[in-house]
């Protein structure tokens, strides 16, 4: 995630050879970028909902073993258990709300960008949001007053 930039002009991987690990890393970058955009848009619409992302760390999972077998073989003794990887998401789901729009690892906020070339500006995040709405053929759920969200059951 930290090393892969979002290709705003090629979100569906149509212009370069497919790479599963790279596509996964880019999808994670998109997820955390959208967390920031969801948080900004919800706050602007007056909706009191926390939107955060988490990173499980490198956990010993079948997906990792299949996607990156060499890395998995060498790093297996250092990998987290699936339960250790899930700790932060369980903590986030059960804690009192303390802000929104953050990325967590080991129950602590972490920086979104570690490599400058992967950083998305606020304008990039808005462009990404609009592209996702267009690709999903969905109306923007937070356009103007959040009446649809406020009226939703649950």
Known catalytic residues are 24
**Beta bridge partner(s), residue 80:** 59
Give yes or no for a contact between 6 and 33, defined as CB atoms under 8 angstroms apart: yes
Contact residues for 90 (Cβ-Cβ < 8 A; gap 6+) = none
**What per-residue string of b and e applies to 83-106 under the rule 16 or more CB within 10 Å gives b?**
eebebbeeebeeeeeeebbbbbee
Residues 6+ apart with CB under 8 A from 65: 72
**Strand order, beta sheet including 103-105:** 53-54, 103-105, 108-110
Both tokens assigned to 77: 């003794």
Hunting for tokens 């059960």 — which residue is that?
94
């Amino acid at each position: 995630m930290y090393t892969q930039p979002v290709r705003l002009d090629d979100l569906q991987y149509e212009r370069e050879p497919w790479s599963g690990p790279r596509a996964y890393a880019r999808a994670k970058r998109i997820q955390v970028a959208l967390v920031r955009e969801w948080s900004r848009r919800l706050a602007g619409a007056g909706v009191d909902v926390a939107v955060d992302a988490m990173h499980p760390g490198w956990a010993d999972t079948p997906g990792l073993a299949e996607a990156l077998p060499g890395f998995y073989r060498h790093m297996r003794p250092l990998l987290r258990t699936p339960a250790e990887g899930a700790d932060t998401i369980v903590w986030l789901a059960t804690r009192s709300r303390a802000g929104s729009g953050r990325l967590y690892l080991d129950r602590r906020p972490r920086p979104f960008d570690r490599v400058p070339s992967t950083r998305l500006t606020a304008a990039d995040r808005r462009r990404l949001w609009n592209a996702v709405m267009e690709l999903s053929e969905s109306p923007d759920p937070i356009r103007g007053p959040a009446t649809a969200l406020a009226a939703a059951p649950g």
